[in-house]
Amino acid sequence: MADRSRVWRFAVGMRNPSQITLLISLFFATVYPLTLSTEGSRVLSVYAVYFMWISLAESWNLVGGYAGLLNLGISAFFALGGVVGALALFDGFPFIISLLLAGFAGAILGVALIPTFRLKSFYFAIATLVVPLVVKPMVEFLGNRADFTVPQTVILTPIGLYYSGLVLAGITIFGAYFLMQSRVGFALRALGDDELASSSLGINVLLYKSIAVLTSGFIASAAGAYYLQIIGTINTTLFQNLNFSLFPIFMVIIGGIGTFEGPVLGAVVFSLINYYVTSQFPGSTVDTFILSLMIIGVAVLLPRGLVSSLHELRKRRTPIPVK
């Protein structure tokens, strides 16, 4: 017979401070535009990139952080989403549909990676490096061009851009949260740690890896269609743009790999630092150099990221109850 009160104490009340912080931030992000004048609301488009990075980092984390599959070419999903989004807008579909169609295209691209699951996970990483090289020329051939510029008329207003980004990021964050709290989340984290042990418990490794890659692909491509709204044009060079493949990884590493709030924190912190460093050294490659050093520093000093380090700090302060 288990000692109920002791068991109970572990079971309840595990509200974690970073979750509360996140909820409060989302609340402020929602009401913030209401404090601005019509004129001042133009600044809102500045925040769009944060929402975009949060979604992209969260998407990468599902596969790379939880399921332990290294995606080195998320830029291909992102760029494909941008292209499909542009085509949808050309055809007169509204923004929301362009986002969804882009998402489905990303999920289908994810299906193309499923055959690599039977091999060592090393081959998945190689395949993700190859995907941009294969998809880019295909898109250029089928679309018969490399530039997908949409007319200004189908671009969202700053306030529309802001709120749709907030919704995109919000759905991504809470989607990731609930997914990871669910049975699926347990399967992904388990197989990310040990595939053989997972399958011995009844987890269909192939199925759950597929779910992760499809979901991640959907989000990354939807983020690409959102990016199109930010800059108004997609060039196919985006498929091989290293920044878009690496920055989400950096963000996840900084924030905390395999945690759902890590990518959010990492995306914000990294974007701020990136903005600052780039503005200090305009037009040089010094910024990339500094950012790279910073990532190595974080990986060495805080291997489990900011979120986990904050948790550890808190645990150390809390006295451990005597058995």
Measured distance CA(276)–CA(250) in Å, rounded: 16
Residue 182 interacts with other proteins (CB under 8 A)?
A: yes
Number of residues that bind other proteins (CB under 8 A): 29
Identify the bridge partners of residue 233 per DSSP, sorted by sequence position.
Answer: 149
| One of 144, 200, 279, 285 touching other proteins (CB under 8 A) | 200
Measured distance CA(88)–CA(76) in Å, rounded: 18
First to last CA, the chain: 18
Pick from 71, 36, 75, 83: nearest CA to 52: 75
- The residue among 202 and 319 lying less far from other proteins, judged by its C-beta, is 202
- The residue among 2 and 300 lying less far from other proteins, judged by its C-beta, is 2
Residue 318 interacts with other proteins (CB under 8 A)?
A: no
User: What is the distance, to the nearest Å, from the Cα of residue 236 to the centroid of all Cα atoms in its chain?
Assistant: 21
Q: Return the residues of window 6-65 that contact other proteins according to CB under 8 A.
A: 6-7, 10-11
Contact 128, 75 (CB under 8 A): no
Residue 201 interacts with other proteins (CB under 8 A)?
A: yes
| One of 151, 202, 283, 319 touching other proteins (CB under 8 A) | 202
Measured distance CA(14)–CA(4) in Å, rounded: 17
Taking the complex as a whole, the smallest distance from the CB of residue 41 to other proteins amounts, in Å, to: 42
Residue 313 interacts with other proteins (CB under 8 A)?
A: no
Residue 114 interacts with other proteins (CB under 8 A)?
A: no
| One of 189, 231, 240, 302 touching other proteins (CB under 8 A) | 189
| One of 106, 192, 224, 305 touching other proteins (CB under 8 A) | 192
- The residue among 11 and 313 lying less far from other proteins, judged by its C-beta, is 11
| One of 199, 210, 241, 288 touching other proteins (CB under 8 A) | 199
Residue 186 interacts with other proteins (CB under 8 A)?
A: yes
Residue 203 interacts with other proteins (CB under 8 A)?
A: yes
Q: Annotate each residue in 243-262 with x if it binds other proteins (CB under 8 A) or - if it does not, as one string.
A: ---------------x----
Pick from 187, 173, 265, 184: nearest CA to 219: 173
Measured distance CA(114)–CA(209) in Å, rounded: 8
Q: Return the residues of window 139-178 that contact other proteins according to CB under 8 A.
A: none
H or E element, residue 147: strand 147-149
H or E element, residue 149: strand 147-149
The DSSP output letter for 238 is G
Measured distance CA(97)–CA(85) in Å, rounded: 8
Residue whose tokens read 């990492």: 266
Positions touching other proteins (CB under 8 A) are 2-3, 6-7, 10-11, 181-183, 185-187, 189-190, 192-194, 196-205, 258, 323
